[in-house]
Amino acid sequence: MKKKNYYIVIVLVAIIILAGGYYFLSKNKSSEVTTVTEEGYTSVNTENLEKNIPPAQTLALSDSEREDLLYMREEEKLARDVYIKLYEKWNVPIFNNISNSEQTHTDSINFLIARYGLNDPFVNEIGKFTNMELQALYDSLMEKGNKSLEDALVVGATVEEVDIIDLKEAISNTDKADIKTVYENLMKGSRNHLRSFVSNMKSRGYSYTPQYLSQEEFNEIVNSQIERGNN
């Protein structure tokens, strides 16, 4: 009789352990899904750009405005292409989510390129660019990102840092409300993406040190909430 009770106790303990493990995994899985819903969030609304972007007051662009638009068109494509390839390599959702956001970013720049009658430098092939500086950058980022998942996530955060810095400079080079509106919303999206990459790294036990932003600005971004809505 005692022996029978002993087996019953063992069975009950096993059930409790399995149930606890299932709860733990379910909770973690649920948490991961919740996190993923924030990854790749972009504040750029491309459904009706004509409505959401102020009308052009003049179609005359300065040399720096023209150069910035053409460069940013391909820089946003670079981010998209890098994340597409890193998703293929590592199959981690953050790369797929943010690559979709980067598509909306480059589309927004293309709207302005069309509005101002510029020749679009966009090459409709992943990993190919008109700007040779961006081509070299893409190649070096992919070389690093293919080494390990940690390196790939570092590449993602680095891309967003560079994007933020370049967008700041582009904003300072223009006085046109429509161009500023697009750039400011792209920068908001880049800050969201940086938050997502850093959070993803932290959840995996990786640390990240800013490569281009000051530590103060980096901390201010990653310690603040996801930004929502158009400017």
Token couple for 22: 């299932």
The pLDDT assigned to 52 comes to: 81
Q: What confidence category does residue 38 fall into, taking pLDDT thresholds of 50, 70 and 90? A: low
The residues spanned by each domain of the chain are 39-222
The pLDDT assigned to 43 comes to: 53
Distance CA 76, CA 160 (A): 10
CATH number of 39-222: 1.20.1260.10
Using the predicted structure, report yes or no on whether residue 22 has a pLDDT greater than 90: no
Tell me the average pLDDT of the chain: 85
Can you give the pTM of this predicted structure? 0.82
Rg of the chain's alpha carbons, rounded to an integer? 23
- Model confidence over 143-173: pLDDT tens digits? 999 999 999 999 999 999 999 999 999 999 9
Q: What is the mean pLDDT of residues 173-194?
A: 96
Distance CA 219, CA 191 (A): 11
Amino acid at 165: I
- Model confidence over 100-129: pLDDT tens digits? 999 999 999 999 999 999 999 999 999 999
Question: Mind giving me the DSSP string for 119-166?
Answer: PP---SSTT--SSHHHHHHHHHHHHHHTT-HHHHHHHHHHHHHHHHHH
Distance CA 165, CA 115 (A): 25
Match 């002993």 to its residue by tokens. Answer: 6
Distance CA 205, CA 57 (A): 50
Token couple for 64: 């720096």
